[in-house]
Amino acid sequence: MSASPDTFFRATGPAMPVLARLSCLIVQPVLNRVVRRIARQHPSLFARLGPHQGTDFVIDPVELPFALHLRPDPQALLFRAVPRDAAPEAGATIRGKFMLLLELIDSEEDGDAAFFSRDLEVTGDTEAVVRLRNALDDVDGSIAEETAEMFGPAGRAILARLRRAYPT
């Protein structure tokens, strides 16, 4: 019997901090590569953020053992995995299921509908979140597809598997 995507990465008790830190170490090289590539391919993202380029966003995919810390400052770009208990103080926090967050990045899901249905939780500076959403909405194409393409057939297969595994 296989675990559902919602429970696959969940750990409780003393195993959680170890799993979170190990997961962060494993995923960090991928995040570094992805953020550099996206920044190079879509420099207009930064202009759309305006004064919120220096805002610290914590993006929390609730079923994963870690959160993501994004600071979209083109002069000091930061995108890293962090254990939830070590997440920085955020200007804005965006929390939801991983696939919903992925769909929001690609404008495949309505952020307002997700927020009002309580599938998405936003705290902190809502103007910063709206600016981030608008910047992502202006991207032509799919950031998820571009990211998968960076990793060739394996990346495309993983994205396809994720899309099949998570109900939309």
| Residue 67 backbone dihedrals phi, psi, to 5 degrees | -110, 170
Q: Give residue 103's pLDDT.
A: 87
Q: Which residues lie across from 47 on neighbouring strands?
A: none
Looking at residue 13, what is its pLDDT? 56
Q: What is the pLDDT of residue 4?
A: 45
Q: Which residues of the chain have pLDDT under 70?
A: 1-16, 167-168
> Residue 68's closest CA among 77, 78, 79, 76?
79
Determine the pLDDT at residue 167.
62
Predicted local distance difference test score (pLDDT) of residue 114: 79
pLDDT of 80 reads 96
Residue 82, phi then psi, degrees to nearest 5: -135, 140
pLDDT at site 125 = 96
Amino acid at 90: A
Please report the pLDDT score of residue 1 as a whole number.
Answer: 39
Q: DSSP readout, the chain?
A: -PPPTTTTT---TTHHHHHHHHHHHHHHHHHHHHHHHHHHH-THHHHHHGGGGGPPEEEEETTSSSEEEEE--TTS-EEEEE-GGGPPP-SEEEEE-HHHHHHHHTT-S-HHHHHHTTSEEEEE-HHHHHHHHHHHHT-SS-HHHHHHHHTHHHHHHHHHHHHHHS--
Pick the CATH number of 15-140 from 1.25.40.10, 1.10.260.40, 3.40.50.2300, 3.30.1050.10: 3.30.1050.10
**Up-side HSE of residue 107: CA atoms within 13 Å toward CB?**
13
Report yes or no: 132 and 72 within 8 Å, Cβ to Cβ.
Answer: yes
Which pLDDT does position 14 carry in this prediction? 58
Alpha-carbon span 11 to 87, nearest angstrom = 18
